[in-house]
């Protein structure tokens, strides 16, 4: 992949230290200058990670796919004003976070409206999940446990949920998460501490010795 990227337009990309050594950022600078091939390279490289992040946020694969398209559309539309001030992925996940939170707020408002009209129907919509039809009891149990973990994360306050997903699943550093959430690193650490304490409490029964 790297070799292919470096060979784009027959012009090798070289870093200049600091944030500018980020290859993705260099590709985005070329997108800013009108290089469509570099945009396709970035999309192909990061699409799965963005969709996976969005899926964990909104807990709906089809919606996550649609939101992923919106994220990369926003990236493309923002190309003219792009500046290298942080890692490209940090900037990308900031956009993905805003898109996901906007979707969650819209869905909450929509559900509230449905609930006022027909509570039973709205509850059914809110709890609808894909039917995976497990083939064995062990797989059933595993899926139930995974769903319980996802549900527990999904019930966290929005910023705590974003911080956990980025820290646990995307393995982002505190500084990157702080940039995405526009807060200090100490605030991120405090946010994660509270989030993990809440998750430990909610999921204690899943541990063999968890009696607290």
- pLDDT one-digit tens code per residue, 28-49: 999 999 999 999 999 999 999 9
Alpha-carbon torsion 133, 151, 172, 80, what sign?
A: positive
More confident residue, 159 or 120: 159
Would you give the DSSP letter of residue 80? G
Q: What is each CA distance from 170 to 50, 117, 130, 167, 202, in whole angstroms? A: 10, 39, 24, 6, 22
Average pLDDT over residues 46-69: 93
* Whole-Å CA distances, 38 to 8, 34, 91: 7, 9, 17
Stretch among 56-60, 78-82, 106-110 having the lowest mean pLDDT = 106-110
Percentage of residues in the chain with pLDDT exceeding 70?
A: 74
Whether 23 contacts 15, CB under 8 Å: yes
- 25 band by pLDDT with thresholds 50, 70 and 90: very high
Cα–Cα distances in angstroms (integers) from residue 154 to residues 40, 52, 115, 202, in the given order: 32, 14, 20, 12
CATH number of 132-205: 1.10.10.10
Give residues with Cβ within 8 angstroms of 103, minimum separation 6.
Answer: 58, 63, 67
Per-domain residue ranges for the chain?
1-130, 132-205
- For 1-130, the fitting CATH number among 3.20.20.70, 1.10.1740.10, 3.90.1150.10, 3.40.920.10 is 1.10.1740.10
Is residue 142 very low, low, confident or very high in pLDDT (cuts 50, 70, 90)? Answer: confident
Global pTM value: 0.67
Please spell the DSSP secondary structure of 142-184, one letter per residue: HHHHHHHHHHHHHTS-HHHHHHHIIIIIS---HHHHHHHHTS-
70: nearest Cα among 86, 59, 54, 91 = 54
Q: What is the mean pLDDT of the segment spanning 156-170?
A: 89
pLDDT in tens, 183-202: 999 999 999 999 999 999 98
Q: Which two tokens stand for residue 23?
A: 């290859």
In this prediction, residue 122 carries a pLDDT of 46
Mean pLDDT of 138-155: 80
Do the domains 1-130 and 132-205 sit in the same CATH topology, yes or no? no
């Amino acid at each position: 992949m790297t070799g292919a990227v470096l060979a784009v337009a027959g012009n090798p990309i070289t870093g200049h230290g600091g944030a500018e050594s980020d290859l993705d950022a260099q590709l985005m600078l070329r997108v800013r200058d009108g290089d469509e091939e570099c945009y396709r390279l970035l999309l192909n490289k990061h699409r799965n990670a963005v969709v996976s992040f969005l899926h964990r946020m909104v807990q709906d694969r089809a919606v996550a796919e649609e939101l992923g398209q919106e994220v990369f559309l926003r990236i493309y539309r923002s190309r003219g004003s792009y500046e290298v001030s942080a890692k490209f992925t940090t900037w990308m996940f900031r956009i993905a976070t805003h898109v996901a939170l906007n979707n969650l707020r819209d869905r909450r408002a929509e559900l509230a409206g449905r609930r006022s009209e027909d509570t039973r129907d709205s509850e059914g919509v809110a709890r609808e999940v894909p039917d995976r039809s497990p083939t064995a009891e062990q797989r059933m149990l595993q899926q139930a446990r995974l769903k319980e973990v996802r549900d527990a994360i999904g019930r966290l306050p929005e910023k705590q949920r974003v911080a956990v997903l980025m820290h646990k699943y995307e393995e982002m550093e505190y500084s990157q998460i702080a940039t995405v959430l526009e807060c200090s690193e100490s605030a991120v650490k405090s946010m994660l501490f509270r989030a993990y304490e809440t998750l430990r409490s909610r999921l204690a029964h899943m541990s063999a010795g968890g009696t607290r």
